[in-house]
Structure 1
Amino acid sequence: MPRPRVLRQVRRHASAASPGTLRQAKEIGEAVARLLSDSSEFVTGAALPVDGGYLAV
């Protein structure tokens, strides 16, 4: 069972993300699939945050 402190952190991050929910595994998978596809052949040495805009705030 997760510790209460960890749950508080997850809830805090989820509330800051747009639209206020945690991302689904499918959405993360889509970002990974995009990076593995030929359409991202020029993407090198970059971080791709999949956070619903959390870092943009």
Structure 2
Amino acid sequence: MRFITPRRNNDTRKVVRLGCIGSYQLGVCSNGFATEKQVTSSTINNVKINFRTGKELK
């Protein structure tokens, strides 16, 4: 399966819109840390792609 990525988006708070297809947003789960520097790839527990279908696909 190919994913359509219109641009690189590393900010997990932003929604990437794919026109009439829908949109997606990343969800990341990790333990709580005081600073960003303490967070590494090994401290991330789970990553999800939250996809919401557009009106045309419903």
* TM range, smaller chain: under 0.3
Higher-strand-fraction structure: 2
TM-score normalised per structure 2:
0.21
TM-score normalised per structure 1:
0.21
Structure with larger RCO (C-alpha < 8 A, sep 6+): 1
Higher-helix-fraction structure: 1
